Structure 1
Amino acid sequence: MAETVSKRLKTSPPQIGTHNGHFHADEALAVHMLRSLPAYASASLVRTRDPSILAECHTVVDVGGEYDASRNRYDHHQRTFDTTFPSRPTKLSSAGLVYLHFGRELVRRKLGLEESDSAAPEVDLVWNKIYESFVEALDAHDNGISVYDPAAVAAAGLTKRFSDGAFTLGAMVGRLNRNWNDPAPEDPAEAQRDEDERFLAASARIGEEFDRTLDFYTRSWLPAREVVRAAFEKRKEFDPQGRVLVFEGPSAPWKEHLYTLEDGSESVLYVLYPEKPTPDAKWRVQTVPVSKDSFESRKALPAAWRGFRDEELDGISGIDGCVFVHAAGFIGGNKTFEGAKAMALKALEE
């Protein structure tokens, strides 16, 4: 796992092999990830199920019935295959296998770190996060694993309220295959070229989504974590019990990072941040949800404040400079930081 890609490559340029016929998102992404690395940048691609041709390929993904990283074989269809990503339950597909072995290098390069920094904590942090938020869905889809336990869903009598258009990552790639009634070229070689062109389009499309995900987690998500960490470490300066988190500089997406930093303690109830990065900015007081995607607050702003604004809210709360409190009690605002802090501290006692 620690060996670099360049040390594993012994042919120049290498040839990547995968199967022909109907293609899926996992091998489309696997090929894209490999070609994103300098050692594979000029790699050619062959799509076949002919064992003699695959045997000549430097790297083979999603075909061949063999998983052996030392020989660059990354198939998952054999009966004995049961490899999963560290600390995750989902059996890997070819996308997960390639990401398992090459994902750290993709992350390291995106972070601009040297090869000697491959074991840096931030590399592992992003490597794990991208697997959980992107690659695992492809592994599950290709291995026929549902998001929810079908038996539990049926027992609960749950049904969809509307169609979501089946716009999953897998479906996005699947739509680029030839439809059952699309005319195929009569010449086998021409038909294969058409199919290969469709595959390359699919690899580029899901590759673009992967690249955007990699860009987000390295350039936005990871820096946000440090902003939240700094605020979290100073939280007791504003409330001795650490229930108020304040972003004194730029605010950042905080929910997911806060839950991780709390590590199950659920200590923070209110988050304060400026509406914009200027000295005259108004301030917001936002409640912390019970979970990242929940609309239920750990402690909503006082019921008596909800739905009121400006001077009327000043009189009700006894705090000057109030701007509003939402009718649902999950957010409010004040003209100044001191006013927002007063709202949070008073709400703690309500």
Structure 2
Amino acid sequence: MDIRYLVTHSGGFHADELLSSVVLTQLFPQARLIRSREAGWITPASDRIVFDVGRAYDTDAGIYDHHQVPGPLRPDGQPYSSFGLIWLHFGRAYLAALGVPEAAVETLHAGIDADFVLPVDLMDNGTLDPGSAGALAGLTLPVLLETLKPDFDDRAPQADDTAFATAQHIARAFLDAAVKGRAAKQRAAGVVKAAIEGAGDAAVLELPMGMPFRAVIEDAGADHLLFVVHPRETDWAISAIRKHADSFALRADLPAAWAGLTGAELEQVSGVPGARFCHAARFLAIAADRHAALRMAALAVEAAQTPG
């Protein structure tokens, strides 16, 4: 395969496309990683693999997305994320590239899929609560850091020290991120509290930018709020609010008729010019501008408050 580009979406990232990129950059080290939502990049072509964007799953075209409706499902009916799709098609080659013996590849591929990949898929699709995912998959930070220990049969004199240095680098990144993240949440809290006060009894909270808001809304007892809107780099987001921080259950879903739609189709169904995208799980929608975002949010509130 003459792959020159590995293409995923720009903006905020999730574990599924990040882990997909780890697999693909290992297999295609010559390829340039592109993060973009421009049609020219996310359109399939013979020189690229497109993942977690593009709204199609077509191995012949080299595109591996899961946001379309219906999305790709495993044989047992559980949903794939982009990581599950990339692991399904490239995981065996990835294992071989890491030196796994051919006779062990199939068993190892299946085991990693069940214990590591599947929980990522389920979390990304909103079918597994974050609070239970770590215990289910053994993906807590202490467990993950200890997986960096040398193999039992690695008898190299410096094996432990080398592994420690590698683990220390990763552990530092997580600790520093934890400190910075919590400091940022404190800064965001003041902005969100002021916005809540300004919103009064409205069911939609407008923020000046994307920021952590769920815990502040819950602490403020602002149970009347159903959706949050805020600008992004080139568009606006409408986010549903979770009932609890450790659950994917929402106070209100975006309208069912919008699920998985994009572009002109979503504009037609919603009646909102500038409506661009609604996630299949109905927790996120994107609009071209503030007016369209607020109109979509108002319609979502109306739908949520209409009996039946």
User: Which category describes the TM-score, using the shorter chain as reference length?
Assistant: 0.3 to 0.5
Could you tell me the TM-score, scaled by structure 2's length? 0.43
Could you tell me the TM-score, scaled by structure 1's length? 0.39
